[in-house]
Amino acid sequence: SQQGEEDPQALSIQEGENATMNCSYKTSINNLQWYRQNSGRGLVHLILIRSNEREKHSGRLRVTLDTSKKSSSLLITASWAADTASYFCATVGDYKLSFGAGTTVTVRA
């Protein structure tokens, strides 16, 4: 079974708005990563947060991690049309990298 589950499954926002998506997971982790996938392509790494970190920023991205609730959130601020993509959280435990089903984000111009 998959480790992570993203919520919502799909999100539609206007350019300039913020997009927030959540990820819940089941077992203990070493770190949690977020990836983006543009239609029909491979995944691109966005940001990694370690299990002993609570928040991390990278440009317009903000990630939080709550290990007590086994959950993480990804915030994209001031979204552009180019942010239209699917976003996946991935958990790392031992050697295994496990993904959720993803959140599809559509940014309307």
Q: Which residues bind another protein (CB under 8 A)?
A: 1-2, 30-31, 33, 35, 40-45, 48, 88, 90, 92, 94-102
Q: Is 35 or 107 the residue whose CB approaches another protein more closely?
A: 35
- How far apart are CB 51 and another protein at their closest, in Å? 11
Q: Is 76 or 102 the residue whose CB approaches another protein more closely?
A: 102
Answer for the pair 102, 62: CB distance below 8 angstroms, yes or no: no
Helix ranges restricted to H, 2-98: none
Residue 14 to residues 9, 17, 87, 106, Cα–Cα distance (Å)? 17, 6, 17, 8
